[in-house]
């Protein structure tokens, strides 16, 4: 149903000013107004394909698309994340021969070898030139790789990488307060990628926009390949970084531009979102731009406005007539599943009172690993749910790897039969943990015989696909594939990787003996605990994932999974595998059957941004859980985003009075 716009909103919708910025609090109708602006433009003769709506996340894209339907905007308007748009333009530029088609990467793990190679090359240069340095050029720890990628993303977001050719390394290093060696390695990564010659052999998602801007600087006529829109709107404008800003400026040369944002919802500082761009930077780039305001929120009532306003120290006013109940629900931190149990009890009670439909609820967690206990409780209570923006814990790599170990240990594969997708993910997860690389494994072809006439860069993926085809057809081959291929020490493995593979294979061999020993009943939890301890999975996990946050989250997932197995102290590994398969199937079945309607959303703050639900529940408001980092400004904005998703009811789960010292410092006390 379309809304009836207020005079403030009508002024924006009717405006024909070339550039407009709207800044307003959460729920003020910014996304709604963008949909109305586009509808109005199309009513006045703009063809839908000449209109584009850009945003910065998949969640925001879903929300925009939904709003277009609600406001009756015509079909055919382009709705994309800036990253998607830029990637499509890279493909068009390649089609128009302005560059060669790059290989697209989608994970940091794929970038790792390039960083290692670049660091080695720079080290060699320093050594050849006889330059003495204390800098550690080894990039074998994921922490260092992650820090490096973070720096690179920041440099790209700020377009510094485009100055590499023209500026001296020491000068850049000094201006950024970074070491010259690090900047030299950044330069080398870009050089090996072919950025200086415009080749860009491979691109990560964070390269698309910068590479485009670089191309336009080198070959200005390539700009003509960009599509010409008559109107361009941008949602969540405060998330924009300098590179994206430059791209939007190019689009605005021919298009009317309307951007909307809320400075308190910047939760993407890591990818270079810079408040300066949406304040002075905007006025500088678009002199004479119009600024318009929407002063009230339409989403929630005054009790939540007061809470959000106090937390962010800004005025937050609700449209009259709205009411939102804010409830604080105490739980016992640390006690087994108490917070998760309270969440599920709250939902069950509201449903019993017939207060709300299931699809009215969203449980918004700080990070995906907080979902495990909640998922298990929801499954036990037979409440259908869907994980939005992340995978259910049952199919995360760290858990699939453990499930894979149990399959191999017990020799029981019946639950994998016919489960092609899960089996593939499981095999890849084992490969991830085993540090398997097939690209330079010359013996691989003889181990799995198939056509090897392939370009070298395709071999790794092609070999994986062949292995997956074999195992999904015959799951019992997983055992020999694991010990014979995944854990086989190859010539490219470092000493430590070689040792790790041998250890991995030994532990799994012991697990098989334990599971086969009929004299001692080895339960699922015993096998898992043995594996976790013997493999030192916490350290292994921090080697597997480049992102520290992702590794921490995986380690917490493993801990929660072991606790879950521990709640079934007598269950055999085979029965445990069957139970997991049944749980996974129950989620899948409900999803298909209900087509996403009658189920609650279990989601993360990042993914919830831009969305809304009548009933929002935020669990784990305790120190170490929310906030999780020392960046309290960012943590506060995350919580602001989470709580302002609520319409009629917000429930905040925090430690009970007896544990008051463990409560989150983010929430203002009433």
Ligand X SMILES: Nc1ncnc2c1ncn2[C@@H]1O[C@H](COP(=O)(O)OP(=O)(O)OP(=O)(O)O)[C@@H](O)[C@H]1O
Instruction: Tell me: is residue 255 an annotated ligand-binding position.
Output: no
| 24 labeled binding residue | yes
Q: Going residue by residue from 211 to 250, which x/- string records binding to ligand X, judged by CB under 6 A?
A: ----------------------------------------
Smallest distance from ligand X to CB 365, Å: 18
Of 74, 5, 313, 271, residue with least CA distance to 155: 271
Q: Looking only at residues 609 through 668 of this chain, which bind ligand X when binding is defined by CB under 6 A?
A: 610, 612, 644
Cα 192 versus chain centre, distance:
27
DSSP 28: S
Q: Are 60 and 161 in contact, with CB atoms under 8 Å apart? A: no
The dihedrals phi and psi of 20, each to the nearest 5 degrees, come to -135, 140
Nearer to ligand X, 8 or 493 (CB): 8
User: In which residue are the tokens 């149903």 written?
Assistant: 1
| Closer of 612 and 635 to ligand X (Cβ) | 612
The one segment of 29-37, 50-58, 145-153, 210-218 that binds ligand X by CB under 6 A:
29-37
Closer to ligand X by Cβ: residue 26 or 234: 26
Residue 31 Cβ vs ligand X, minimum distance, rounded to whole Å? 3
- Give the nearest distance from C-beta 392 to ligand X in angstroms: 26
Closest C-alpha among 615, 611, 612, 653 to residue 350: 615
Integer distance in angstroms from the first to the last C-alpha of the chain? 36
Give the nearer residue to ligand X in terms of CB position, either 234 or 399. 234
* Peptide bond connecting 627 to the previous residue in cis, omega within 30 degrees of 0: yes
Is 561 exposed, middle or buried, given 0-12, 13-18 or 19+ CB atoms closer than 10 A? buried
Binders of ligand X in range 93-152 (CB under 6 A):
none
Restricted to residues 482-501, the positions that interact with ligand X (CB under 6 A) are none
Q: Residue 150: CB partners within 8 Å, gap ≥ 6? A: 270
The smaller minimum CB distance to ligand X, of residues 396 and 611, is found at 611
- Tell me: does residue 553 bind ligand X (CB under 6 A): no
Minimal distance in Å, beta carbon 24 to ligand X? 6
Task: Cis check for the bond before 345: say yes or no (omega within 30 of 0).
Answer: no
Tell me phi and psi for residue 612, to 5 degrees.
Answer: -155, 150
- If the CB atoms of residues 262 and 375 are measured against ligand X, the closer one turns out to be 262
Task: Decide if residue 66 touches ligand X (CB under 6 A).
Answer: no
Minimum distance from residue 29 beta carbon to ligand X (Å): 3
State how far the Cα of 488 lies from the Cα of 465, in Å rounded to an integer.
Answer: 18
Q: Scan residues 67-96 and list those touching ligand X (CB under 6 A).
A: none
Both structure tokens of 195: 């950025």
Residue 255: both structure tokens together = 């298009």
Stretch that binds ligand X, among 5-13, 170-178, 567-575, 581-589 (CB under 6 A): 5-13
DSSP structure string for 444-474: HHHHS-------HHHHHHHHHHHHHHHHHH-
Is residue 29 a contact point for ligand X (CB under 6 A)?
Answer: yes
Q: Among 12, 20, 23, 31, which residue interacts with ligand X (rule: CB under 6 A)?
A: 31
3-state secondary structure of 477: helix
- Going residue by residue from 275 to 314, which x/- string records binding to ligand X, judged by CB under 6 A? -----------------------xx---------------
27 is in an annotated binding site: yes
Yes or no: say if 236 and 247 are a contact pair by the CB < 8 Å rule: no
Task: Kindly state whether residue 181 participates in binding ligand X, applying the rule CB under 6 A.
Answer: no
Using the rule CB under 6 A, is 27 a contact of ligand X? yes
User: What DSSP state is assigned to residue 268?
Assistant: -
Q: Which of 379, 436, 420 is nearest to 600 (CA)?
A: 379
262 binds ligand X (CB under 6 A): yes
What radius of gyration do the chain's Cα atoms show? 27
**Nearest distance from residue 387's CB to ligand X, in Å?**
21
Query: Distance of CA 154 to CAs 248, 274, 282, Å?
Result: 19, 11, 20
Kindly state whether residue 40 participates in binding ligand X, applying the rule CB under 6 A. no
* CB-nearer residue toward ligand X: 319 or 664: 319
Residues 13, 19, 32, 333: which binds ligand X (CB under 6 A)?
A: 32
Q: Closest CB to ligand X among 272 and 610?
A: 610
Please pick, from the candidates 12, 28, 312, 535, the single residue that binds ligand X as defined by CB under 6 A: 28
DSSP annotation of 478 reads H
Q: Are strands 646-655 and 325-331 parallel, antiparallel or unpaired?
A: parallel
Nearer to ligand X, 6 or 92 (CB): 6
Q: Closest distance between ligand X and the C-beta of residue 1, in Å?
A: 8
Interface mask (CB under 6 A) for ligand X, residues 361-390, using x and -?
Answer: ------------------------------
Q: Is residue 25 marked as binding?
A: yes
Size of residue set near ligand X by CB under 6 A: 19
459 is in an annotated binding site: no
- What is the β-pairing status of strands 51-55 and 78-81? parallel
Please tell me whether residue 6 binds ligand X under the rule CB under 6 A. Answer: yes
Under rule CB under 6 A, residue 317 binds ligand X: no
**From CA 538, how far away is CA 529, in angstroms rounded?**
12
SS3 622: strand
Q: Which residues bind ligand X (CB under 6 A)?
A: 3-6, 9, 24, 26-32, 262, 298-299, 610, 612, 644
- Show binding-site residues for ATP: 24-31
């Amino acid at each position: 149903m379309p809304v009836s716009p207020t005079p403030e909103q009508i002024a924006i919708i009717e405006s024909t000013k070339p550039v407009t910025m709207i800044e307003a609090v959460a729920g003020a109708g910014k996304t709604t107004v963008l949909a109305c602006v586009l509808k109005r433009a199309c009513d006045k003769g703009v063809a839908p394909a000449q209109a584009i709506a850009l945003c910065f996340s998949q969640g925001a894209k879903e929300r925009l698309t939904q709003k277009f339907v609600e406001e009756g905007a015509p079909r055919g308007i382009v709705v994309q994340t800036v990253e998607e748009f830029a990637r499509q333009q890279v493909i068009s530029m390649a089609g128009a021969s302005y560059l060669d088609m790059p290989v697209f990467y989608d994970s940091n793990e794929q970038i790792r070898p390039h960083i290692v190679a670049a660091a080695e090359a720079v080290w060699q240069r320093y050594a050849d030139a006889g330059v003495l340095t204390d800098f550690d050029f080894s990039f074998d720890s994921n922490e260092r790789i992650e820090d490096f990628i973070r720096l690179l993303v920041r440099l790209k977001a700020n377009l510094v990488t485009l100055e590499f050719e023209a500026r001296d390394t020491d000068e850049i290093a000094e201006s950024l307060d970074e070491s010259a060696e690090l900047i030299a390695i950044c330069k080398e990564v870009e050089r090996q990628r072919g950025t200086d010659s415009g080749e860009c052999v491979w691109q990560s998602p964070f390269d698309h926009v910068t590479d485009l801007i670089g191309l336009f600087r080198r070959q200005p006529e390539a700009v003509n390949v960009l599509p010409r829109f008559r109107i361009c709107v941008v949602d969540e404008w405060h998330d924009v970084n300098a590179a994206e800003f430059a791209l939007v400026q190019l689009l605005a040369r021919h298009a009317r531009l309307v951007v909307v944002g809320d400075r308190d919802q910047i939760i993407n500082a890591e990818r270079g979102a810079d408040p300066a761009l949406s304040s002075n930077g905007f006025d500088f780039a678009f002199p004479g731009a119009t600024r318009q305001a929407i002063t009230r929120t339409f989403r929630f009532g005054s009790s939540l406005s007061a809470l959000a306003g106090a937390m962010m120290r800004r005025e937050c006013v609700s449209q009259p007539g709205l009411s939102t109940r804010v409830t604080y629900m105490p739980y016992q931190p640390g006690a087994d599943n108490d917070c998760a149990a309270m969440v599920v009890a709250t939902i069950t009670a509201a449903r019993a009172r017939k207060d709300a439909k299931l699809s009215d609820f969203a449980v918004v967690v700080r990070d995906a690993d907080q979902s495990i206990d909640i998922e298990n409780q929801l499954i036990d209570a037979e409440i259908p749910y869907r994980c939005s923006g992340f995978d259910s814990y049952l199919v995360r790599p760290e858990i699939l790897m453990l499930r894979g170990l149990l399959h191999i240990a017990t020799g029981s594969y019946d639950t994998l039969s016919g489960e092609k997708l899960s089996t593939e993910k499981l095999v890849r997860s084992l490969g991830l943990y085993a540090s398997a690389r097939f690209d330079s494994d010359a013996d691989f072809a003889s181990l799995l015989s198939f056509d090897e006439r392939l370009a070298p860069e395709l071999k790794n993926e092609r070999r994986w696909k062949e292995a997956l085809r074999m195992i999904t057809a015959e799951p019992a081959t997983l055992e020999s594939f694991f010990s014979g291929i995944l854990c086989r020490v190859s010539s490219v493995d470092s000493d430590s990787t070689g040792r790790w593979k041998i250890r991995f294979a030994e532990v799994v061999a012991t697990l098989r003996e334990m599971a086969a020993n009929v004299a001692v009943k080895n339960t699922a939890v015993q096998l898992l605990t043995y594996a976790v301890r013997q493999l030192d999975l916490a350290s292994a996990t921090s080697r597997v994932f480049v992102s520290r946050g992702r590794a921490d989250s995986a380690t917490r997932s493993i801990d929660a999974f072991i606790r879950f197995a521990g709640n079934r102290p007598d269950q055999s590994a085979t029965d445990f595998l069957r139970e997991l398969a049944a749980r996974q199937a129950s989620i899948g079945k409900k999803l298909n059957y209900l087509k996403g309607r009658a189920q609650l959303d279990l989601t993360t703050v990042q993914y919830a941004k831009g969305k809304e639900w009548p009933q929002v529940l935020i669990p784990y408001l305790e120190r170490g859980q929310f906030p999780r980092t020392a960046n309290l400004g960012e943590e506060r904005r995350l919580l602001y985003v989470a709580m302002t998703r609520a319409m009629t009811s917000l429930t905040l789960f925090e430690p009970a009075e007896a544990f008051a010292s463990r409560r989150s410092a983010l929430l203002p006390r009433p």
